[in-house]
């Protein structure tokens, strides 16, 4: 199977939407419908991190670094609890909410 094209979030709103979709598929990030067989933890986090990097200037350096740190921590939590049994998935989902709060504070382009 060829590597699917990434759907990289282009702005703050798309980053917020991406994080919301992550809440629905955590911690495994697999598509149960069959429409997106390429969906995986690696794919979802690559999209998130590239979206954060793409929006680095809008976010500001400090906010960008904090969000990247949070993304890395969240990924580690989801990897550690793939069956959602140890509580680390819940902790990862809390990080998603914290990231959404930070993104909502970022300046938006008009």
For 21-57, write each residue's pLDDT tens digit. Answer: 999 999 999 888 878 778 899 999 999 999 999 999 9
By the 8 A CB rule, do 98 and 70 touch? yes
pLDDT at 2: 59
For residue 34, count CB atoms less than 10 angstroms from its CB and return exposed for 0-12, middle for 13-18, buried for 19 or more.
exposed
pLDDT reading at 110 higher than 60: no
pTM comes to 0.90
pLDDT at 109: 60
Q: pLDDT higher for 53 or 107?
A: 53
């Amino acid at each position: 199977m060829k590597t699917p094209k990434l759907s990289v979030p282009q702005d703050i709103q798309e980053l917020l939407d991406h994080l919301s979709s992550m809440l629905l598929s955590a911690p495994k990030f697999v598509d149960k419908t069959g429409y997106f067989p390429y969906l995986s933890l690696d794919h979802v986090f690559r999209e998130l991190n590239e979206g954060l990097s793409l929006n680095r200037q809008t976010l500001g350096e400090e906010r960008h670094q904090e969000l990247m740190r949070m993304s890395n921590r969240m990924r580690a939590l989801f990897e550690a609890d793939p069956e959602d049994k140890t509580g680390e998935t819940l902790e990862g989902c809390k990080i998603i909410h914290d990231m959404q709060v930070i993104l909502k504070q970022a300046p938006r382009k008009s």
